[in-house]
Each structure stands twice: as structure tokens, then as C-alpha cells.
């Protein structure tokens, strides 16, 4: 192998991550060793590292759950994966329990999340169950000018909003509002549009709104420049202009902020669906009875079932989702600086760390 196996360990909240040698194990039955091509830096990773969000596995721990790479070793029963390019699910269900058998792998009690339950992807190699691996067609990748590292972000930034869009039932004629137009929200805009929805994108960052206006958003609104009542009115007027209903909006909260969640709640209309995609430790105060009064519904979105990954990847490979404009590759050796820049909002694109 071309690179000496190693990984970067988080030892304490905010402490510089430490590089350590990695001894590659012989994979057990049903396991594979993946040589990492790239691992995306997610808002969740920053929460663990800076905000003290507790990981299920105690520190020290290698973070990172948006992983693509190539299988270089396989245990008994997983030999067919040897040599294949793959995306590793951000949440790996066991595949055997009652919840998994009923298609509810996202609530599997034995699920394993790299960088949380098990060692993660900020490393040269990772050992994971073969359950749910998503094969990557490298010929199609090359055709659209992407690398295997680039599609690492499919594992969370793309598949999480993909599940949200599927679960919410977006279809032609749906008026979709996406709050938070960068990162996960940017992909949510594109996926909702690919499903036939007409999308209004909200953000506080003019640059993010300008970017997503070129890729799926039919209308963009800077929420810094309007009050809640005017915001709701302007979306309703836009819906009427497009011949869409002023009811049954599908609202995707992707910002992972208290302000974004409050905005989402204030946009509830009759028959609305509120999809909570972003995560924050902050609390918001809402009148829960609004769900009753509007006959609305609120849906959580944890990870994405592995069986949905191929459909999400197809949208990327068919270029119905623009990926290249929203990601940038950095050497894994620069992990501490990249985390600092991401936390300080200095990065305009999602960082992918490449060993």
C-alpha cells in the first residue's frame, strides 16, 4: 500500500487531533477494510469537537462519517466487495433485527456510526461491516469529472436530505421551503427540485443564496432582510404566482440553528410537513398546538437507510445534483487547520480530507 496506515485521534474537546499509526486488522466475517479516498467534514463532527456533543464511543476517537474509498480486504461472506469502490453509510444498521427487517434501519438499536459508535474516517483505512455498502460506478464518476473522494459527501450531506425529501413525499406541484441553503441544505434544494418540487431557499448568507439560485432554487430570500410575517406572505404570493397551493408546504429545516427552527415553525400552513434535518443543541420555544390547528406534521430525519443510497448517488452521477461546485479537497494532514477554518466559517465549500 502506498501510504503508511494512520489515523487522527480526537483526545479531548478542542484539543489538537493527534496522528497515530494504525495497525490494519484482518477483517472478521462480514467485515471489510476500506482504504479511504476521502472523508467529508460535517457540522456533526464540529459539534463533537468544539461543542462537547458526546460520542457514543469514549475518547480518544477518530471522527468522520462521510467516507468513500476502496475495499482492500474482506472477511468471510464479504469477499465479493474486494477491490470495489464504495461509499460507507454514515449510519450502518445491523440488517438483522426486527426494525431492519421492517425497513426501519435508521432506528436500529445496533446501528454503528463511524466517528461516533466506531472509529471514523479521518484515517487512511477504516474497518466496517459490509452491511449497506454502496458501490460506486467509477466510469460514470469519471464521465462527469468527479473523483472517488468527491462522492464521500454523498454519505451524509446528500443522503440525509435525500431521505428527508423521500419521506416528506415531494412531487411535482409541491411547494418546498429549504431553510439553510449551504451544505446539507444546498443539496436538499437540488434533490427537492429533482423530485419535481418548486423550491424557495432561505438563508442569512447572500453568497450561499446566489450559488443555490443557479442549482434548483426557484426563489431565494435573505431572512436577514425580512420579518417573519412578511416572509410567510412573500412565499404565499410566490406560490400563487406559480399556480401552487398556499397550503401543504413542505418545509425543510437544514440550518441546524435555533433561529432556523423558529423560522420553520412560523412558516407552518394548513397541511404542512415540517422536516427537521439540521441539528442543534439549542432549544426553541414553540406552541405545539400549531400542529393540531394546521393539521400539520413534523418529521425527524436521522441518517439514511442504506437502500436509498444508490438512488441518491444516481442523482449525482446523472448530474441532477451539482457536487463539484460545493466541495473542496484538502490533505488529511491539515485536519486541525481545516476544522478551525470550518468552525470559523472561513470555508465556502464542504471540506473533504484526503489521505
> Do 132 and 191 belong together in one domain?
no
Give the pLDDT confidence score for residue 281 in this predicted structure: 85
Q: Report which of 170, 205, 191, 227 is spatially closest to residue 318, judged by C-alpha positions.
A: 191
What does the pLDDT read at residue 192?
98
What local confidence, expressed as pLDDT, does residue 1 receive?
Answer: 40
Domain endpoint, select from 281, 300, 319 = 300
pLDDT in 10s for each residue of the chain, 355 residues: 447 999 999 999 999 999 999 999 999 999 999 999 999 999 899 999 999 999 999 999 999 999 999 999 999 999 999 999 999 999 999 999 999 999 999 999 999 999 999 999 999 999 999 999 999 999 999 999 999 999 999 999 999 999 999 999 999 999 999 999 988 999 999 999 999 999 999 999 999 999 999 999 999 999 999 998 999 999 999 999 999 999 999 999 999 999 999 999 999 999 999 999 998 889 999 999 999 999 999 999 998 999 999 999 999 999 999 999 999 999 999 999 999 999 999 998 999 999 9
Same domain, 10 and 146: yes
- Which residues have a Cβ under 8 Å from the Cβ of 133 and sit 6 or more positions away? 32, 71, 81, 86, 87, 88, 89, 306
Residues 24 and 132 in one domain: yes
Question: Does 309 map to a domain?
Answer: yes
Residue 274 and residue 246 share a domain: yes
- Report residue 336 as a C-alpha cell: 486541525
User: Are 229 and 183 in the same domain?
Assistant: yes
CATH code, 62:
3.90.180.10
175 and 250 together in one domain: yes
Q: Are residues 175 and 288 in the same domain?
A: yes
Residue 185 sits in which domain range?
159-300
Q: What are phi and psi of 281, to 5 degrees?
A: -80, -15
Question: How many domains does one find in the chain?
Answer: 2
Say whether both 60 and 106 belong to one domain: yes
* Strands (E) located in 2-62: 6-9, 18-21, 31-40
User: Is the residue at 1 inside a domain?
Assistant: no
Amino acid at each position: 500500500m502506498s501510504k503508511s496506515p494512520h489515523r487522527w485521534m480526537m483526545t479531548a474537546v478542542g484539543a489538537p487531533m493527534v496522528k497515530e499509526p494504525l495497525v490494519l486488522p484482518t477483517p472478521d466475517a462480514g467485515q471489510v477494510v476500506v482504504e479511504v479516498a476521502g472523508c467529508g467534514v460535517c457540522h456533526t463532527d464540529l459539534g463533537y469537537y468544539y461543542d462537547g456533543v458526546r460520542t457514543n464511543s469514549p475518547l480518544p476517537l477518530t471522527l468522520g462519517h462521510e467516507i468513500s474509498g476502496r475495499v482492500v480486504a474482506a472477511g468471510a461472506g464479504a469477499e465479493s466487495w474486494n477491490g470495489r469502490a464504495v461509499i460507507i453509510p454514515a449510519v450502518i444498521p445491523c440488517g438483522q433485527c426486527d426494525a431492519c427487517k421492517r425497513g426501519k434501519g435508521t432506528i436500529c438499536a445496533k446501528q454503528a456510526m463511524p466517528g461516533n459508535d466506531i472509529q471514523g474516517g479521518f484515517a487512511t483505512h477504516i474497518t466496517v461491516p459490509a452491511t449497506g455498502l454502496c458501490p460506486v460506478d467509477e466510469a460514470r464518476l469519471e464521465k462527469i469529472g468527479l473523483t472517488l473522494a468527491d462522492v464521500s459527501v454523498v454519505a451524509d450531506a446528500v443522503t440525509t436530505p435525500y431521505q428527508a425529501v423521500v419521506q416528506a413525499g415531494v412531487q411535482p406541484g409541491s411547494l418546498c421551503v429549504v431553510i439553510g441553503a449551504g451544505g446539507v441544505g444546498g443539496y436538499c434544494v437540488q434533490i427537492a427540485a429533482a423530485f419535481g418540487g418548486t423550491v424557495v431557499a432561505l438563508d442569512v448568507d447572500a453568497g450561499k443564496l446566489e450559488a443555490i439560485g443557479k442549482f434548483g432554487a426557484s426563489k431565494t430570500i435573505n431572512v436577514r432582510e425580512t420579518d417573519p410575517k412578511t416572509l410567510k406572505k412573500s412565499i404565499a404570493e410566490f406560490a400563487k404566482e406559480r399556480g401552487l397551493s398556499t397550503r401543504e408546504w413542505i418545509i425543510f429545516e437544514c440550518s441546524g440553528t435555533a433561529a432556523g427552527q423558529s423560522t420553520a415553525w412560523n412558516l407552518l400552513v394548513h397541511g404542512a410537513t415540517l422536516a427537521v434535518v439540521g441539528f442543534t443543541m439549542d432549544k426553541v420555544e414553540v406552541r405545539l398546538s400549531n400542529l393540531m390547528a394546521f393539521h400539520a406534521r413534523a418529521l425527524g430525519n436521522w441518517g439514511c437507510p442504506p437502500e436509498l443510497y444508490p438512488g441518491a448517488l444516481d442523482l449525482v452521477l446523472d448530474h441532477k445534483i451539482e457536487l463539484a461546485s460545493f466541495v473542496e479537497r484538502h490533505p488529511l494532514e491539515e485536519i486541525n487547520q481545516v476544522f478551525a477554518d470550518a468552525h470559523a466559517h472561513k470555508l465556502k465549500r464542504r471540506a473533504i480530507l484526503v489521505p
